[in-house]
Amino acid sequence: MPAHLFSLSSIWNFAHPRQKVWDVMADPTMSWPLWWPGCSLAAPLEHHSDVHSSADEQILTTTAALKFRASYGYTLMVLYHPTRVNSPREVTFDARGDLVGQGRAVLSSIDEQCTRVEIEWNVRPTSRWMQLLSPLAAPAFKHAHAVLMAKGETGLRNYLGR
């Protein structure tokens, strides 16, 4: 039996221009642990570009191993690798590790000073315990995801406002 597919979505809104939000979210040095509570680097970033590469090429050739600590106390390690970039509007990515699948973040301007970020994840757990518990614990896993994403939104909002 295949592992449970989680289709997860979040919408973040910021009172900042799209380019400013993009510059932080799509930072090839992966600054997420600086502003996202519960997120940390699990390993050094993997870069496969040279210093003269464009910003989009640097994003596409970077893989980040991230650890996310859920509100229920478990930690997931996810390898995040962008597969397509359309600056400053969209990035699609593959996920590997404790979750496997794809995701996408789309940034749109509400007006000149406000940005909406729509984040979609379609992932399956790879860890045995999550696979076994998913049929019953799916609502709890979705709740933990929503809490973690809300922390990311608040953290980014605070970071952008400094």
pLDDT digits (tens, 9 = 90+) for 92-124: 999 999 999 999 999 999 998 999 999 999 999
pLDDT in tens, 127-157: 999 999 999 999 999 999 999 999 999 999 9
Q: Please confirm whether the linkage preceding 135 is cis (ω < 30° from 0).
A: no
pTM beyond 0.85, yes or no: yes
Q: What does the pLDDT look like over 56-65, one tens digit per residue?
A: 888 998 999 9
Which domains occur in the chain, in start order? 6-160 (3.30.530.20)
Tell me how far apart the alpha carbons of residues 137 and 109 are, in angstroms, rounded to a whole number. Answer: 36
Please say if the pLDDT value at position 79 is more than 80: yes
Residues 6+ apart with CB under 8 A from 92: 82, 83, 84, 102, 103, 104
